[in-house]
Structures are given as structure tokens and as C-alpha cells.
Structure 1
């Protein structure tokens, strides 16, 4: 038997040259030879532009075609080629406008008709698409055009027309699989399920080795609620080919639609263990379930077992990344971290995996895990500042200050940086230098940050406090801190810093005012603030209040016991003016 092939038509440039030669000329200034010389040159640029993706060449072609069009407006070919170029530029209105002119000048040219039809298909304008396909089958005897038209009739619910055209095609292409599919589609659309089933059953008889035919029949039976018959077809298909991945997944979908999740999972596992479906497709299926809130399977009892099948069958970091993403959504950060670690061990070159690993380890205070990969991460991704920042923070918490400073030159060399990223990184460096007693360098970095962002309240607060602790540049410290309490007058941390700077300047009564405000604004249980409060009280000669403040501080931080006990003893032995 002859077989009808469904062909997607590509419109060739050369087709436009098959233009009618008997259209009368209307005052052109070009000879025929000059016209075709310019047209040929334009076509050369168009071919080069399309082949190389070179829009410059296409623009040159457009100019030359428009020159040809203006010189000989009665010739259809330039309009057609201009339309093609505008289609490449994705300018659909202009493409359609020039295509329409080409068609009007030569309305029996099959390439022009097909070109217009393709534009309407892109626009999803089914009525206009059908109109031009009807024109097309009248000027061309290619069976693929009739086949496509039958499909379009069916899509437009013009089933009688589709069936008539299919019957005509069957006279020449009896036994064509594609024609059985159109008839099935038409009968299903006309709500004639017995006939729709008959066409698919015939397909199975004629093409018993094409297992997708079983799948289509089973799916259709399921759609019309004939579940028992559908199940029998699936069972027969899996008896013939038990490892068919698509068949197992389809049978799994069959059970999902009935809410039978356990049975669905059984067949999904078989489908995911098959080798005839790519890992990309399997991962895509799981992502679909993860992000489709209407799915009844977007929970760990379905997603995780299938993800585990992927991990068992592939040493592919993408399978681990999928598991990590699921656990992140579920806010199960320890499990997400474990999956990201597996992805890294499986050789992931995806920067996002490494960044997520560092950030989650940071967030969950598993700083040792960051330390173990920090050097490798920076070698693989030397230009990713977030690794320096968040990885560096973990190292800072581990007191691995030299490891942070080791990569300072590389981190500073990254350009361009967003302002906030640069500030975060410089702040980390300043803290690290302060921790290793490189105070001058630390101070210079804080000053560098303030040049970039003079209004940064956090940097102003921290830097001014460090200056006050060392008892230096107190005027500079007071100036920096003053803006913080102006901008945030109820911030307990900023109030305490400003009060402490005033204390270091010997302004005890003013200092008391701000530290008391800090306590009233939430710092009543902050041991450091209470320690400052005690120091101010002692300086004011109010020893009993100082002792009370220090004793309260010890309750909130017993690591201060030794230091504050000495202060308490001194206060008690001192003759204060209480």
C-alpha cells in the first residue's frame, strides 16, 4: 500500500523566481537584465544572512529588494522576499502586508499562498489559514496540502469537510496511518466513540509493532471513562513490551486520574527506570509535578521516590539538584544541603548549585561544610562574588580569618560589582583584618565603604563603636554615630553605641540618657548594654545601681561572670554617693 507522508513545508527563496512573465510593465526604468541583476544580488545577501544569522546582510537584501519593488512594482517576487525578511525579523504585520501584495499580483503561485497560510497559522487565525489552504489545494496537487487541510478542518470542528477530504485521500493512500488518526480525531470530535475506537483498533491491527497506537487507544478509552477497557489495553501493551517507558508512564497517568496514587507510583517508577526516556524528560515530568499546584502528587510520597529512582540509575547532578529544589520548597534545609552535596560530588559545573550549597550551609550554621569546598568553589568560579561573601562569612565564624584574606586580591578584582555586593565584601574584609589585629587596614576599609555609601547606618554604627572601644578618634566616632540615631531614633543598638561614645568622651549624663533609651527600646535583656549601663552608673557615683545592672547582665550572659564580678567587688568596696 502507498503511504502518505505528513510534510512540513519550508519555503525556499528560489520559489519566488518562478514568477509570471506576462504581467504588463508599468513604466519601469530598469531593463529586465538590470532587474534580475539587482534581484540576484539581493537574494545573495538574503541567503548569506539566513545561513549565518547575519541581520546586516538581511538589511542589505531588504534595501535591494525594495529597490527592485519600486523600480518594477508589477513584479511579485520582491514583495514575497521582503515578506520573508520581515518574518525573520519577527515583524509579522509587515510580513503579512507584503505577502498579501505578492499574492494579489500572482494569486495562483502556490509558494505565495503557502507563505500567507503559514503566517496565519503563526497567528493562530484558523479561518484565514483554512481559506488559503483551500486556495492551495486548488492550484497544487501535492497530497500533503490536502492532508494538512483535513487536519485544519478537524481543528476547526468542520468534521464533514475533514472526512470528505480524508475519504478522497484514502482512494490513493489506503491504509495510511495518518488518515486513520484524522478519522479517529473527527469521530472523537463528533462524539462518536465507537467509530473513534474502531479507527484506533484498526491501526493496531495494521501496525502491531507501533506500540504508540496501543497507548493512544488506552488514553482515549480513559478519556471517555471506559477504564476497564483502557486498563486491558495497557496490560496488553506491557505484556508485549514490559520495559516501554512511555507506556508505563501513560499507565501511571491512567491511575493518577482516578486518584490511585500508589498504583500510579508503581508504574511511574518502572517508567523512570526505563532507558527509552531521556533523563531530561524524566526531570521535566518531576518539575511539572513540583510546580503544578493542581497536581495531587506534589508531595514527598510521590516526588521523592521517583527522584530516588533517578539517583539510583544516573550519576547525574541534575537529579540531585531536583531533589534539593524540592526540599528547599519544603523548607527541609538539611536534606536540601545533602542533595546539593551529592550534586557537587557528582561533578556539577552549575554555579547555582555551588552558590546554593554555600548559602544554605551558611544559613544552617554548618560552616565546616563551606570550609571543605571553599577553595574548590573559588577555583571553579573565581568571578562569583557571592562565594567570597557567604563562604567568607562561614570562615569568619570558624575564625579562619587568614583563609578569607588569602583571596582578597581575587575578590577585589571582580568587576563589575553591584554596590551592595561590594559593601558586603569590604565589610567582611574589614572584620577579618580587625580580627587579626590589622587595625589600620580594617579602619581604612571602613572609610573606603563610607566613601561608596556614606549613609550606610550599619557600617557607621559598627565602625564608630570599634573606634570608641579603642578610645581613639572619638569625635569622628560621635559624628558617625549621630546620624544613625537621627535616622533611627528607636534603634536600641544605635542608641547604645551613641551613648557609649559619649561615655568614652566623659559625657556621663548624656550617655545615661541614650543607654536608658536603648534599654527602653528592647535592650533590657542585652548583657552588653547592661554592662555599659553599669559603667555609666558607676561613673556617676551610683554604685548600687551599677551593681544591680552588672548582676542583671550576668543573668543574660554568664560568660561575663568573671569580668563583671570584679567590677561588682570594686563598686561594693567603693564609697559611692548613692
Structure 2
């Protein structure tokens, strides 16, 4: 609870000096003096309102010289100094104001606050206690004294003041909440429950307190008490979806989960529960470790909620998350797209959309949605990566380079930078710009020396260009050491060995690759190395197989027809 602070209300007029009866008050002797004093005070108040504290202080000091026994002027000087963060200097003036007018409660409130501002908490508390002796029902002092004891950790004194507040002002929700917070921290659940009951007794027509008590009892597994409280609540309230929800949660906690979910569905069929409440309730149930069957029912309820509230982006994204987690990626995308159409400035949803589309090889959609997301998040490197990758797969190498180069500028994650440079290497290779391709690959390997995609493509393209074959062999060797059963990487290494003229070694890797993956390119490579080793008949059989599988080179028919190797 936050104890309320009340501003000081100065009820004493600064100009009513002629009405004072104290002998030590100096009263202006002439009308001219009175008018002059009034003018000085008015100007001081004006400067105080404008927060020109130095000017205000100067004028109040002039006023004090004209009437040194005015409690109000002393207090105004204290107030100005306090506002100027000069609490120590303010103290004598605050004390003098009380000395001159000991019955003014507002001066004591102000002095107590000055004490608090400079850390004199004991003096502040003493001042509040003195004030309460004179004005025991002064609400401001009661609340501020309670806050002071709260601040200094004086629990018993704080509770004593709480009791005073309740005795004089009745049960107050803010006081009850603070007590409950302390009792919860101390593990005194019975005391928390007792405080709830006090609120209910004090405000019998406030149904929310009864509902809150029931929820508290359920959450803290006081299930017998919760059941009894639900019965009492139901007897005083007409049947409602709120009661149905309470029964649902109680049944769940009692292990009656099927019953619980039936009640939950019944409650959600009504319109009396607002969307936000339904959304929070579903989130809570899904957080209580439902089994797969229960989760399926909760997901169905969530889908109904989203379909009924198609204008709520949170509901759409929530269902998207549930379906994505359940492996229903295509359905998830539909809800995610609904969500970003309603609220496009949601980066995590865009990211999920793009991840799914990349996984499903939906590259046309990937490019469209990545560039749509960039309208809202133009500095997100990952979005450029997705867009560039989509263009790369579509063989639009110029656009791929443009997006990937832009994304590189925004990338701070070394892993992502490795991937982007790797894709740039592929894109530049597609443009036949070998030098830029190799430079990009080299930069990728600087950040991620064991990146398999880069090691594979870099070594393979070098072998195709018959360039820097020693480097190609070093990279492909490292690749198959890390991935000894990957047919693509085995094929690359075998082909690098082939290009280096190491046909016997090449055969070992290409043969293994061909046994693991019936891909036309891999099978054709295996036939090529067989031909180089003089196994012509076996080579032709492999070429024929490669032709039938597809994805072989344009020379495959000529190789078969002429029984000759063309490269």
C-alpha cells in the first residue's frame, strides 16, 4: 500500500495581524505600514508560485523585519527553504512558527515534513505524535506518521497507528492492503484472511472483496475455506459467470480437471466476463502445467476467444504462440498475421512469422513479410537477413546483396554476422563476383570459423573455380571431421579431393555420400570419380541413375551417350 500524502493547507491569513491578541506581536502602526507589508507579502507569494525561491525568500525576510512576531511569515520562510532543499536552514523558522502559534496544526505538519526531508525521522515522529495529542483525529498526521514508521521499519508503532486510523476513521482499504502485504511477507496467511474479512464486514455490498478472498484462498490452497466462501458468496449473489470461474479454479486445484475445464468453457460462453479477464484466466490455466489433452482443450477455448475477438491483437498473437508451440505452424501464421495487421509494431510476432515461413520454405511470403516488418523496425538486422535469404533462394542475387549488405551494418551479434556474411558469399557467387564472394566468406569465418554452411560452400566454389585448392581442401576436411555422416558435406569433400586429383580418396567419400543421399548431383560426382579410376561400366550406371533422379549436370546425356567424361 502507498500511504497517501497530503499537502499542507495554510489556513492562517498572512495579513490578519490586527486581529492577533498576543502581546509580542508587532502590529503596524499606520495604514501606510499595513499596505506596505501587504504589498511585500503579495510579491513574496507571487515569487513562490513562480518558483523563484530566492526572490520569495528575500521578500519574506523583508516582511519578517516589518513584523518579526508573525508565525505565518516564519512558517512561509521555512516553507521556501524546504522547497529549496535547505531543510536544515528551514528548521529554526518552523520551530519559531510553532512557538508563536502552538495551536496551529498545519505548522506542526509542515515541521514534521521538514524533519523527514533531512532524515531526522525520530524528530518527525515526535512532532506527529505531539500533533496527535492535540488533534487526535487529524487524518493527515495519522497517515503520515504511519508512513514514517513504515519507512523506518518500526512495525509495532506502524500497526499501533493503523489501529488508531481504523478506530477513528473506520476500516480503510489502503491500510488493510499494507497490513496484508506485511502479513504475507511474514507468512501469516490467517492474518491476511482476517483482514479480508474485516473489509467484507465493513463493506458488505462490495462483492469484489468477497471474490478476492476466494481467489486468495484457492491460490494458497485453503480449499475447504474456499469452498465454504464460494457457498456464502453464491447465497448472497445471483448466479454469475464469476462464480462459475471460481468453481472451475477450485475444481482444478482439487484435481478435478475435467470438471474444471467444463466449468471454464461454460463461463467463457457468457459475455459478462470481459476480454482482458478471459485472457488472463487462460494464461493462468496454461501456466498450471496442463497435460496434452487438457492443453488441447485450453487451446480450443483460446481459439474461440480469438475468433470472437478478432479486433484484439493480443488474442491473435496468443493463439499463434499456442499453435506454434504445438507444431501447427501454418495455422499459427494465420493468427500471427491477424495480430500484426492489428498492431504491426510487435517485433516478436514478426520474427515468429518469418521463422515459420523460412522453415516451410515459403520464400515469396518471407520476402513480403520481412520487408513489411522493416517498415516498423528498420534497424533490425534479422529482418534484412530474412529478406536477403528469401531473395537468395529466389536467385534474385542483386536484391539479396542489397538487403544483406544493409543488414550487416546493423548487426552486433557475432553469430548473426557470420550467417549474413555467409549468405553474402553465396549471393556474390551468384553474381559471378568471385572476389567479393571470397571476401565475404573469409569475414564469415573470422566470426565463426566452424560454420558448416560457409565451409561447405566456400570450399565447393573454390573447387569449381579450380582456385586455392589447398585452402578448399583444408576447409572441406574440417567440415567432414565435424559432420562425418552428412551426405552433402561428404560430397563436397569428395569433390574437392577429386579436383585435387586425389581420386582414390575422393571415391571413398563420394561413395559414402551416394549411399546416404540419392541426389542427382551426388550420384553424378560418384560416377565421375569411378570413370577417372577406370571403372567405366560402373560410372555409366551411376550417370544413368543421376539422370533419372534429376538435378544432374547439363552434360549428363552426352556423358552417357559418348561413354566419356565431360567437365
TM-score, normalising length: structure 1: 0.62
Pick from 495, 509, 516 the counterpart of residue 508 of structure 2.
516
Contact 1:423 1:449 in 2 (8 A): yes
- Cα displacement (A) at 1:363: 1.0
Supply the distance in 2 between the matched residues of 1:183 and 1:347 (Cα, whole angstroms): 42
Supply the distance in 2 between the matched residues of 1:147 and 1:501 (Cα, whole angstroms): 79
2:458 aligned with 1:463? yes
2:520 aligned with 1:525? no
Question: Cα–Cα, structure 1 residues 44 and 415, in superposed 2: closer, same or farther, change >3 Å?
Answer: farther
* 1:407-440 per-position Cα deviation (integer Å, ceiling 9, x unaligned): 456435x535323223323333332343354555
* 1:270-313 per-position Cα deviation (integer Å, ceiling 9, x unaligned): 65466665433322222222222169995121332244134313
- Cα displacement (A) at 1:321: 0.5
Match of 1:352 in 2: 348
How many residues were matched structurally? 468
2:4 aligned with 1:10? yes
2:477 aligned with 1:482? no
* 1:313-338 per-position Cα deviation (integer Å, ceiling 9, x unaligned): 34122111110111122222222122
2:300 aligned with 1:304? yes
Supply the distance in 2 between the matched residues of 1:516 and 1:357 (Cα, whole angstroms): 42
Match of 2:441 in 1: 446
- Cα displacement (A) at 1:399: 3.9
* Unaligned ranges ≥5, structure 2: 10-60, 65-73, 95-110, 133-139, 185-192
* 1:331-350 per-position Cα deviation (integer Å, ceiling 9, x unaligned): 22222122212223445431
Match of 2:187 in 1: none
Supply the distance in 2 between the matched residues of 1:229 and 1:132 (Cα, whole angstroms): 31
Question: Cα–Cα, structure 1 residues 319 and 519, in superposed 2: closer, same or farther, change >3 Å?
Answer: same
* 1:195-244 per-position Cα deviation (integer Å, ceiling 9, x unaligned): x9xx87x976xx4xx554775798889943796995696487345xxxx6
Supply the distance in 1 between the matched residues of 2:271 and 2:122 (Cα, whole angstroms): 49
Match of 1:165 in 2: none
Q: How does 1:162-177 map to 2 (within 5 A)?
A: none
2:308 aligned with 1:316? no
Q: How does 1:183-262 map to 2 (within 5 A)?
A: 185=197, 207=205, 210-212=206-208, 215=211, 223-224=223-224, 230=230, 234=234, 237-238=237-238, 246-254=242-250, 256-257=252-253
Match of 1:25 in 2: none
Question: Cα–Cα, structure 1 residues 346 and 561, in superposed 2: closer, same or farther, change >3 Å?
Answer: same
Superposed CA RMSD in Å reads: 5.3
2:279 aligned with 1:283? yes
Supply the distance in 2 between the matched residues of 1:184 and 1:354 (Cα, whole angstroms): 44
* Unaligned ranges ≥5, structure 1: 1-6, 16-32, 46-60, 84-97, 158-180, 187-195
Query: 129-138 vs 100-109, which deviates more?
Result: 100-109
Match of 2:51 in 1: none
Question: Cα–Cα, structure 1 residues 78 and 305, in superposed 2: closer, same or farther, change >3 Å?
Answer: same
Question: Cα–Cα, structure 1 residues 43 and 217, in superposed 2: closer, same or farther, change >3 Å?
Answer: closer
Pick from 393, 407, 414 the counterpart of residue 419 of structure 1.
414
Match of 1:377 in 2: 373
Pick from 413, 430, 434 the counterpart of residue 435 of structure 1.
430
Supply the distance in 2 between the matched residues of 1:544 and 1:324 (Cα, whole angstroms): 56
Match of 2:360 in 1: 364
- Cα displacement (A) at 1:355: 1.6
Question: Cα–Cα, structure 1 residues 346 and 267, in superposed 2: closer, same or farther, change >3 Å?
Answer: farther
Supply the distance in 2 between the matched residues of 1:213 and 1:137 (Cα, whole angstroms): 21
- 3-state SS, counterpart of residue 299 of structure 1: helix
TM-score, normalising length: structure 2: 0.63
Q: Point out the structure with max Rg over C-alpha.
A: 2
Pick from 329, 332, 335 the counterpart of residue 336 of structure 1.
332
